[in-house]
Amino acid sequence: MAEKEVAPKNEFWEWTKALLIAFAVAALVKYFLFTPIVVDGESMTPTLQDRDRMIVNKIGYTIGGPKRFDIVVFHAPAGKNYIKRIIGLPGDKVEYRNDQLYINDEPLDEPYLEEKKALLLDGTLTEDFVEQVPEDTIFVMGDNRRGSTDSRHIGPVENEKVIGKTSIVFWPFKEIRTVK
């Protein structure tokens, strides 16, 4: 019986296939699952700093809905992506009185604002207002309440404009951390 001759493998073609598969998998992960984002500005200080780099989880809200105090990235009206904290959920009455958050007339603590409030020399961090959150939207605010363009200015954010949730800072390397 004659042995079947095995054709020599083309090493260039094997490497090309491996690279194409790797790029396809990376593109799918970035497009559907996770993507990096760079914090642009001071609107989330002290929680996040300008130029922090984070990972956005794009699938989190397909499994479960947004939760109060999540940090999310969304498409803003100015054609940019904003990063802010969810304060109000659909149907909520969001109110601030004397620098205190009330959701549906119940006071809620915001421990992530304590550091910012301690640095205040004058007045309050968040001015008084009342807002009713429409269905299929969320009400978002930056942690730097005096320096944030958020739902107080641009209105509630439609759910379909939310890209995803973020909680992991991966750069600068020495400051890798999760944020809440």
Catalytic residue among 4, 9, 67, 84: 84
Q: Annotated catalytic, 116?
A: no
Catalytic residue among 43, 148, 151, 165: 43
For every residue of the chain, DSSP letters joined together read: -PPPPPPPP-HHHHHHHHHHHHHHHHHHIIIIIEEEEE--SSTTTTTS-TT-EEEEESSHHHHS---TT-EEEEE-TTSSEEEEEEEE-TT-EEEEETTEEEETTEEE--GGGHHHHHT-SSS-SS--EEEEPPTTEEEEE-SSGGG--SHHHH-PEEGGGEEEEEEEEEESGGG-EE--
Q: Annotated catalytic, 43?
A: yes
Catalytic residue set = 43, 84
